[in-house]
Amino acid sequence: MTSNIRNPLSTLKSNLAAARAAAALLIAAGGAQAADLNALIWCDHSDPALLQPFEQANNIKVNVKEFEGTGAGLAIVEQSQPGDWDVMVIDSIDVPRGVEKGLFEPLPEDKLPFADLFPEVKMDKSTIVDGKRYGITEKFGYNTIGFNKTKVDPADMQSLASLTSDKYKGKVAIYDYYLPVIGMAALAIGKKTADLTEAELPALKAELLKMKANAKLVGEVTASQTALATGEVDILVGGGEWVTAGLAKENPALDFSIPREGAVLWSQSLAMFKDSKNKDMALKFIQYILSPEGQARLATSSCYWGMPSNTKAALTDDQKKVLRFDEQPGFLARAQAYPAPNADLDKKMQDMWTEMLQAK
């Protein structure tokens, strides 16, 4: 997300409000109407700089509706009529949820640039179901350590142990989202995010409490990012390029690390609805977003920056530097996927997170 370092909170809200206003205008009366292309999207796709070139090239209008989180997106679909939506942005790990509900159309792999994607973010285990591919990763990044390199020793940020060090007590903020931060806690104690079971919960809770004891605050995206941007804290647990890249122009001191223990990989995919009334244009949209030009615009969206999945993204040298583009192979080698607990373990993890938040 972008921000003005002097007043990041107001600028963040202004940017998000502008994006939502643009989305509201595009969807006219507030519902998905039969139109050229109807897209359920995250806020990074509302950016006119991303949409307008596609609209002009195809002489159409893209109607967008923003949502946050897969559950919210699927709820919108359930309240809509078949054919209301053409494409959807979804967490790559959640593509099977849409497939299980019979929502998505298999994608034609020969018409999409799979050969150009970073191999580690193709997410075949999630985007392929029963031998058919239903999603293509468009953007990714890391929940890791964001920091101010003029206020901390960057060498310390190469280890997750720094998050619980007395050296940085009271200088830390924690991003208030349980799955990625639990994933970071798992990496800190030498556990793999994919192998977490109920047996690991006591050790994970102990690590989270150590992080909390060092933290000045635990906050959602805007609060935690603002704390880092304004200097209220020097370290953000769960931050990454999605926080620091958009702020780099105003504050080049902000950076992120992928520590030696690893980081938690997030990725988002595009899927096409089986009941789309405009599958040809839906495919064109997906092809555009995955093109070098579309990837550069999506990666540097006004809502939040992230790594393009296409290695041929048409980023400038400065943009690549901010995103640490050339370092991605090493980063990806150390990254692990979001924890993907079953419903019972997920509830226990949420309860553990709540207990951590309430701890004095």
| Mean pLDDT of the region 116-129 | 95
pLDDT of residue 31: 43
pLDDT over threshold 50, residue 104: yes
Quick one: fold of 35-140+266-330? D-Maltodextrin-Binding Protein; domain 2 (3.40.190)
Domain spans of the chain, in order of start = 35-140+266-330, 142-265+338-358
Confidence of residue 148 (pLDDT cuts 50, 70, 90): very high
| Mean pLDDT of the region 312-325 | 96
- What percentage of residues in the chain have a pLDDT greater than 90? 81
CATH architecture, range 142-265+338-358: 3-Layer(aba) Sandwich (3.40)
What are the beta bridge partners of residue 137?
269
pLDDT over threshold 50, residue 12: no
pLDDT of residue 265: 96
Residue from 295, 178, 304 nearest 242 by CA = 304
- Shared fold status for 35-140+266-330 and 142-265+338-358: yes
3-state secondary structure of 301: coil
| Mean pLDDT of the region 309-318 | 97
Q: What is the pTM of this model?
A: 0.85
pLDDT of residue 170: 96
216-264 pLDDT tens trace: 999 988 888 899 999 999 999 999 999 888 888 888 999 999 999 999 9
Question: 214: how many CB neighbours lie within 10 A of its CB?
Answer: 21
pLDDT of residue 32: 41
Q: How far apart are CA 268 and CA 178, in angstroms?
A: 18
332-348 pLDDT tens trace: 999 999 898 998 999 99
pLDDT over threshold 70, residue 1: no
pLDDT of residue 35: 54
| Mean pLDDT of the region 2-25 | 39
DSSP string, 139-159: EEEEEEEEEETTTS-TTGGGS
Confidence of residue 119 (pLDDT cuts 50, 70, 90): very high
